């Protein structure tokens, strides 16, 4: 049996394990471990299992994961995310579809603290869905907005998706964070455009909310100043060269905790719960990364990347055509696989092709993460859709999927814009690092 045959059998076995709901990390451990035994030796498999776990767990750049997650969790339990939503609501809630647009803005702001799509969808769902229901928003629009807006957590830095991409491809976390800023803002604006179009065509979907006075607007904005300040300090500090991403994560988490203590909105019990959630999420991410460093050598030994690379390049599609083909594969896989699993499984295969074609790896990283966003709201998996369903149990799942369709379309538009104008992604990292 050839190495390529063993490799493809391993990939099939991995998909089979995922279909029967074996956790991603454990499925990759099993396939990678036994695959290396089949292609090399048991000594090599045990050696990689021991060395990669230690090397990855002691990597300094991975400190950003628990600290940024802690920052988001503390911001959630102290009500900072609610105050950000209240400020956006006070400014634009009185317009048709204003509550939905405020939800998107709130998701974007919370994403800049948590770096997690699931956390953004869950937190903003609890905050915003009740308000939109109170003002008779169509549930398809309200749930669709929360599900789609939550996906901004994987694009707007600090993004866990960018951290994992950086680790797997040995790219700069700082460059990737900066590369996600303008595409994240673009995506946020396109979501607001989608809301405006929907509410223009179907006015009953998003009735205007009550107007607020100028003093009320000022009070709401003042309440959001701490969280806005933390966002600008962490991301601005990275852009200005004052902090590395690791230092920015420590500064951000520390300031959010201090603000919570000073405002007496963070009790010891709340901090303990936020810390426990952060540890659980970090452990999940670390397991996936360690498993990735076990399955990647197996894929390399099987020569699958070479075979797939020759197959794709053989089409003669050129740089842009090859890029579109790879992104199309991601869109299809996103209907069935969780985002991190897709990164781990596909990057060892596609990344060498990208480098050979001369495609900028930072630009490619932004496009891949945006494709992962689409997977978060694509049926039948659509993780964010199921998160919103848990917050709004009375809304049929089919209605939530219908509600995300316009936003899914806007993601396609965003990918087209970013392919046509790569400098949207590259101008900030190129300005800072060059």
Instruction: Tell me the per-residue pLDDT of 273-300, one tens digit each, with 9 for 90 and over.
Output: 889 988 887 887 788 778 877 777 888 7
Top-confidence residue, 33 or 238? 33
Instruction: Give me 76's structure tokens.
Output: 């959630």
CA-closest candidate to residue 282, choices 249, 317, 241? 249
What are the tens digits of pLDDT across the range 32-72? 889 889 888 888 888 887 777 777 777 777 787 788 888 87
Can the peptide bond before residue 348 be classed as cis, meaning omega within 30 degrees of 0?
Answer: no
- The Cα diameter of the chain in Å comes to 75
The reported pTM is: 0.81
Residue 381 has pLDDT above 70, yes or no: no
What CA–CA distance (Å, rounded) separates 396 from 382? 14
Top-confidence residue, 422 or 27? 422
Cβ 395 vs Cβ 143: under 8 Å:
yes
Mean pLDDT of all residues belonging to the chain: 84
Query: Cα 92 to the chain's mean position, in Å?
Result: 26
CA atoms within 13 A on the CB side of 115: 31
Predicted local confidence at residue 174, as pLDDT: 85
Cβ 284 vs Cβ 340: under 8 Å:
no
Instruction: Give me 410's structure tokens.
Output: 């806007």
Predicted local confidence at residue 415, as pLDDT: 94
* Residue 385 banded pLDDT, cuts 50, 70, 90: confident
* Residue 434 banded pLDDT, cuts 50, 70, 90: low
% the chain with pLDDT above 70: 98
What are the tens digits of pLDDT across the range 167-177? 888 898 889 98
CA-closest candidate to residue 61, choices 175, 181, 229, 183? 175
What CA–CA distance (Å, rounded) separates 167 from 114? 19
Cβ 286 vs Cβ 167: under 8 Å:
no
278 C-beta neighbours (distance < 10 Å), count: 21
* Residue 183 banded pLDDT, cuts 50, 70, 90: very high
What are the tens digits of pLDDT across the range 330-368? 888 777 676 777 787 788 889 988 988 889 999 999 999
Domain hosting residue 340, numbered range: 3-433
Query: Cα 183 to the chain's mean position, in Å?
Result: 13
Distances (CA, A) of 142 to 86, 102, 129, 394: 16, 11, 6, 13
Predicted local confidence at residue 433, as pLDDT: 62
Long-range contacts of 14-20 (CB under 8 A, 24+ apart): 14/295, 14/345, 18/337, 18/341
Residue 409 has pLDDT above 90, yes or no: yes
Cβ 369 vs Cβ 162: under 8 Å:
yes
What are the tens digits of pLDDT across the range 80-125? 777 877 888 788 777 888 888 888 888 887 777 766 677 777 777 7
Report the pLDDT averaged over residues 134-143. Answer: 88
Full 3-state SS string of 146-199 = HHHHHHHHHCCCCCHHHHHHHHHHCCCHHHHHHHCHHHHHHHHHHHHHHHHHHH
What CA–CA distance (Å, rounded) separates 197 from 146? 17
Cβ 209 vs Cβ 135: under 8 Å:
yes
Instruction: Kindly tell me the number of DSSP H helices and DSSP E strands found in the chain.
Output: 21, 0
396: left (phi over 0), alpha (psi -120 to 50) or beta: beta
Domain tally, the chain: 1
Residue 235 has pLDDT above 80, yes or no: no
What CA–CA distance (Å, rounded) separates 141 from 332? 25
Enter the DSSP assignment of 337: S
Query: Cα 182 to the chain's mean position, in Å?
Result: 15
Report the pLDDT averaged over residues 218-243. Answer: 82
Residue 303 has pLDDT above 70, yes or no: yes
Q: Where are the alpha helices (DSSP H) in 40-134?
A: 42-57, 64-77, 80-92, 98-114, 117-134
Residue 163 has pLDDT above 90, yes or no: no
What CA–CA distance (Å, rounded) separates 362 from 426? 7
Cβ 195 vs Cβ 206: under 8 Å:
yes
Report the pLDDT averaged over residues 138-159. Answer: 86
Report the pLDDT averaged over residues 217-244. Answer: 82
What CA–CA distance (Å, rounded) separates 316 from 160? 34
């Amino acid at each position: 049996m050839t190495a390529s045959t063993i490799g493809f059998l391993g990939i099939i076995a991995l998909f089979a394990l995922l279909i029967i709901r074996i956790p991603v990390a454990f499925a990759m451990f099993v396939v990678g471990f036994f695959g290396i035994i089949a292609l090399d030796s048991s000594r090599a498999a045990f050696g990689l299992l021991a060395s990669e776990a230690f090397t990855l767990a002691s990597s300094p750049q991975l400190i950003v994961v628990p600290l940024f997650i802690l920052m988001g969790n503390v911001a959630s339990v102290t009500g900072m995310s609610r105050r950000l939503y209240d400020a956006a609501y006070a400014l634009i809630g009185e317009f048709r579809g204003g509550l939905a647009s405020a939800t998107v803005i709130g998701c974007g702001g919370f994403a800049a603290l948590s770096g997690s799509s699931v956390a953004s969808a869950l937190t903003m769902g609890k905050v915003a869905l009740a308000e939109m229901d109170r003002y008779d928003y169509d549930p398809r629009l309200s749930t669709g907005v929360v599900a789609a807006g939550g996906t901004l957590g994987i694009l707007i830095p600090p993004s866990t998706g960018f951290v994992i991409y950086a680790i797997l491809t040995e790219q700069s976390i700082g460059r990737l964070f900066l590369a996600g800023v303008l595409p994240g803002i673009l995506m946020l604006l396109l979501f607001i455009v989608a809301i405006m179009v929907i509410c223009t065509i179907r006015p009953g979907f998003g009735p205007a909310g009550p107007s607020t006075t100028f003093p009320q607007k000022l009070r709401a904005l003042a309440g959001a100043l701490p969280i806005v300040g933390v966002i600008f300090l962490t991301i601005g500090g990275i852009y200005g060269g004052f902090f590395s991403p690791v230092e920015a994560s420590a500064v951000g988490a520390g300031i959010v905790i201090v603000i919570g203590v000073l405002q007496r909105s963070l009790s010891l019990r709340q901090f303990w719960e936020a810390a426990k959630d952060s540890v659980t999420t970090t452990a999940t991410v670390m397991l996936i990364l360690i498993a990735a460093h076990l399955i990647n050598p197996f894929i390399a030994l099987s020569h699958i990347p070479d075979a797939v690379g020759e197959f794709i390049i053989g089409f003669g599609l050129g740089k842009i055509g090859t890029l579109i083909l790879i992104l199309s594969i991601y869109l299809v896989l996103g209907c069935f696989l969780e985002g991190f699993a897709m990164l781990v499984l596909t990057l060892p295969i596609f990344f060498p092709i990208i480098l050979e074609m001369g495609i900028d790896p930072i630009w490619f990283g932004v496009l891949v993460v945006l494709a992962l966003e689409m997977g978060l709201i694509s049926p039948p998996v659509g993780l964010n859709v199921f998160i919103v369903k848990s917050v709004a149990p009375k809304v049929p799942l089919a209605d939530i999927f219908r509600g995300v369709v316009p936003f899914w379309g806007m993601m396609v538009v965003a990918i087209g814009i970013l392919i046509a104008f790569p400098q949207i992604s590259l101008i900030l990292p190129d300005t800072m690092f060059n």
